[in-house]
Amino acid sequence: MSAGRISRILTSLAAVAVVAACSVVIAGPGVFIIIGDWGGEHVQLELEEAGGTLEYDCAHGMIDPGWKLSDSGEFSGTGEHVIEHGGPVREGEILPSRPANYDGTVDGDRMSLTVTLSDSAQVIGTFQLQRGSVGQLMRCL
């Protein structure tokens, strides 16, 4: 392998390491997708480039790909909100699922997240999350 090729490979690996360390992937001019774990009271959120997953006290949700954050810190995404119940989920049971909007703002390591059912405009709640924090969940009984 030539020295030039090795240098290009090392430069590419260094760029990947910088992006991974920052937990931010550039998606376009002035638009960012925040990835990583976020937690707060009654919510746990894991964002990835391909979307995200949420856990609530008695529900869970999925965020579609394309969760984007503007350079002003505002974001929105769409996905699903699934209502759970106390006790075990029976084999073959299908939990009620509703389309949802996930909107909010990010300021440094803090996020404010509002979840709204898009088919009824019902607000599930507004949550305050911290990057790298574990959510404090209370499971349904």
75 within domain boundaries: yes
CA 123 to chain centre: 18
pTM here is 0.74
| Model confidence pLDDT, tens digit, residues 89-120 | 899 999 999 999 999 999 888 999 999 999 99
C-beta contacts of 47-55 below 8 A and 24+ residues apart? 49/25, 51/77, 51/79, 52/77, 52/79, 54/102, 54/115, 55/135, 55/137
Domains in the chain, number:
1
Range of the domain at 12: 3-131
55 within domain boundaries: yes
| Model confidence pLDDT, tens digit, residues 15-56 | 444 333 344 444 444 445 578 999 999 999 999 888 999 999
Is the model's pLDDT at 14 over the cut of 90?
no
Beta bridge partners of 48: 51
17 within domain boundaries: yes
